[in-house]
Amino acid sequence: MPLTGTVATQPTDPASDLSALMDDLIRPELVHRRLYTDAGLFDLEMQRLFGATWSYLAHDSEVPNAGDFVRRRIGRRQVLVVRGRDGQVRGLLNRCTHRGTTLVTEDRGCRKRFTCPYHGWGFELDGRLAGLPVPDSYDRLYERPFDLGQITVAAHRGFLFGTLAAEPIPLADWLGPALPWLDAHIDRHPGGRLTVLPTPIRQEYAGNWKLAWDNAADGLHATFAHRSYNLLGREADTETVLARNPAHTPMISRTLGHGHCVVDQRPGITGSPWDTMRPLPTCSDLAAGLTARSEVDRSLLDLATGNMVNLSLFPNLIFVGNQLMVVEPVAVDRTRLSYYLVLAADAPEEINLMRLRVDEDFISFGTPDDLEMFERVQDGLGIAEEEWIDISRGDGAGDEVDAAGLVTGGISTEAPIRGYLAEWKRLMARPTPMRVRRSRVEAALNRLTKGE
Ligand code: FES
Ligand SMILES: [Fe+2]
């Protein structure tokens, strides 16, 4: 296909069917630069994509007690993930129902209720209006929609996801073929118990959020973009798996539907995951102390590293080693990455201390390479006359497609990019009906459906 053809500028009306425009922007092996540079398309993503599908919100372990909350985002919407007195976790919109003030500016905390700083309205942990000054100034106060808006929240084994879709597909169906990969990630922790540390490491780059997705399953770039990191490993004589000639490595990448994908590096290593780690500060002492204990199996050391499997759940969660990387779009050319460090709740303390050292390592010496590449791509895409980005690698040249249309390829296939863009296109073509829920309305609906 020739790399030519100008895409007409079309209106991005929130209600319109934009299938034709989307077909124009995303072709079988090409994608138009406007996906990364057009502020109108970015606005549309904030309305049609984020909120219309499930997004990762938080992990159960971050809100263990009643009143605990964390503040997260789905697109431009601030969401308070709150554990109620009934033990249930809800997603409340951080927006006072009086005149719109955000109720909370902290990223986490514990409250008995949420009180608006502007005129003092108070809300229960389940979002119900709990009181306001001069209640007599309203006619039929509790019949007005003053309870806080809520999104739908569902959990898979402690991982909490949220959506505003009026009729969301079940979370397990949305995870689909990604579900066993998520379970495997959870199951490698003793007892399946994870603790997510509450304060993330944050990085921002001057580029579009989808550059992080283009990179999520890009096994090819590691050999080149992370050359200095690979040299550190080579000098330490460790298994530098990403430094290999990408033409001769059996690692695989696989699309998993709904834009999800996974890269499995394990077929590419000869030893264990622990053997891929070069020496890090304090780690050899911690490992020696641990393995000196008679009851400890040496394979436990693998728990200190990542599992060599990068799972990506579109549109905002990427498992990187032992971290949960959350992708937060800020503007068409600005993105925030939040890395939540995960501990194995029932593992020996040495393992969790080693996890922290391992987690710091790639963020410090590897991720800056990625961010520089993202910013350089964004800069390059500023050349309006060069319209197209090629995403054809692997298609017809090594990729295998199963009966369900899921693609398995080698480390350098761009099938995961084509996969998430197909989901992007599906969500962006037509608006998904959305709904804000409210405690009292939901309770009334539940009573009706139960015939009370
Ligand atoms: S805006 Fe919140 S009480 Fe007025
Ligand atoms: Fe990278």
Handedness of CA 101, 106, 108, 110 (dihedral sign): negative
- Rounded to the nearest angstrom, the distance between the alpha carbon of 371 and the centre of ligand 2 is 8
Rounded to whole angstroms, the Cα distance separating 71 from 58 reads 9
CB distance 142 to ligand 1 below 6 Å: no
- Rounded to the nearest angstrom, the distance between the alpha carbon of 417 and the centre of ligand 2 is 15
Note the pLDDT tens digit of each residue in 319-365.
998 999 999 999 999 999 999 999 999 999 999 999 999 999 999 99
- CATH 3.90.380.10 holds for 178-428: yes
For the structural domain made of 55-163, what CATH number should be given? 2.102.10.10
Beta sheet of 108-110, edge-to-edge order: 55-59, 159-163, 150-156, 89-93, 77-83, 68-74, 108-110
Give pLDDT, residue 8. 52
Best of 92, 95, 97, 98 for a ligand 1 pocket test (most atoms within 8 Å of beta carbon): 98
pTM for the whole structure? 0.94
Give pLDDT, residue 9. 47
Rounded to whole angstroms, the Cα distance separating 287 from 181 reads 28
Q: Mean pLDDT over residues 34-58, rounded?
A: 97
CB distance 99 to ligand 1 below 6 Å: yes
DSSP letters of 48-89? IIBTTB-EEEEEGGGS-STTEEEEEEETTEEEEEEE-TTS-E
Count of H-run helices and E-run strands, the chain: 13, 23
- The two tokens of residue 193 are 């118990």
Q: What average pLDDT is seen over the chain?
A: 91
Nearest-CA residue for atom 3 of ligand 1: 119
Is residue 1 scored above 50 in pLDDT? no
- Spans of all domains in the chain: 55-163, 178-428
Handedness of CA 367, 372, 378, 381 (dihedral sign): negative
CB distance 118 to ligand 1 below 6 Å: yes
Give pLDDT, residue 452. 66
Tell me which ligand sits closest to the C-alpha of residue 134. Answer: 1
The answer to whether 55-163 and 178-428 have equal CATH topology is no
Q: Locate the ligand 1 atom nearest the alpha carbon of residue 132 and give its number.
A: 3
Rounded to whole angstroms, the Cα distance separating 367 from 209 reads 15
Q: What is the widest separation between alpha-carbon atoms in the chain?
A: 75
